């Protein structure tokens, strides 16, 4: 039985470390995405036309180092599109849009 104790402890520490490693900022941003209803389309299997946040993060990863990527994406996201308007995008405040864009640019974890 001593064996079980020896294996359980390292596993527990790994779980604990992973929990601590998730940054408070990333947690706040994904909570904001929940609060703003982003998940009713993104990362929702019933909305196949909206890319998942993982897909968006992958697509945007190449712009991570660009100086004005964040500003451009914030503007694009909030700008009304004549075809296929997305009110939850348009209704974001600049601050919320910036927080969410930054979160996606950082990998949307
Ligand atoms: C009603 C469904 C819906 C909701 C709710 C929604 N989105 Fe989207 N979003 C889409 C679709 C569809 C696209 C793909 C548009 C395209 O490819 O032209 C998209 C694209 C995006 C993009 C890619 C850039 C762009 O402008 O095309 C980002 C970033 C994004 N959404 C973030 C968000 C965030 C953050 C929220 C929460 C505030 C959100 N979305 C809520 C449907 C939605």
Which of 50, 81, 107 to mutate to test ligand 1, by most ligand atoms within 8 A of the CB atom?
50
Q: Is 98 a domain residue?
A: yes
Structurally, the chain folds into a number of domains equal to 1
- SS3 category, 13: helix
Mean residue pLDDT of the chain comes to: 86
- What mean pLDDT do residues 29-37 have? 94
Q: Has residue 20 got a pLDDT over 80? A: no
| Range of the structural domain that residue 77 is part of | 24-105
Whether the CB-CB separation of 99 and 85 falls below 8 Å is answered with: no
Q: Is 14 a domain residue?
A: no
pTM of the model: 0.82
Q: Summarize pLDDT for 63-98 with one digit per residue, the tens.
A: 998 999 999 999 999 999 998 899 999 999 999 999
Q: Is 45 a domain residue?
A: yes
Position 24 confidence tier, pLDDT thresholds 50, 70, 90: confident
Predicted confidence at residue 19, as pLDDT, reads: 47
49: domain CATH number is: 1.10.760.10
Whether the CB-CB separation of 86 and 40 falls below 8 Å is answered with: no
Q: Is 3 a domain residue?
A: no
Whether the CB-CB separation of 56 and 104 falls below 8 Å is answered with: yes
Q: Is 71 a domain residue?
A: yes
Predicted confidence at residue 47, as pLDDT, reads: 94
Q: Is 51 a domain residue?
A: yes
Q: Is 13 a domain residue?
A: no
For ligand 1, the distance from its centroid to the CA atom of residue 52, given in whole angstroms, is 9
* Pocket lining: 105 vs ligand 1, CB cutoff 6 Å: no
H-state helical runs in 1-109: 2-21, 24-35, 53-60, 69-78, 87-90, 94-105
């Amino acid at each position: 039985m001593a064996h079980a104790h020896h294996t359980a402890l390292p596993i527990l520490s790994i779980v604990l470390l992973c929990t601590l490693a998730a940054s408070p900022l990333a947690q706040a941003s994904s909570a904001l995405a929940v609060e703003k209803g982003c998940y009713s389309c993104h990362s929702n299997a019933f909305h196949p036309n909206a890319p998942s946040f993982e897909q968006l993060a992958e697509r945007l990863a190449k712009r991570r180092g660009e100086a004005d990527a964040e500003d451009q994406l914030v503007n694009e996201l909030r700008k009304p599109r004549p075809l296929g308007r997305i009110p939850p995008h348009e209704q974001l405040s600049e601050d919320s849009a910036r927080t969410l864009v930054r979160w996606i640019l950082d990998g949307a974890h």
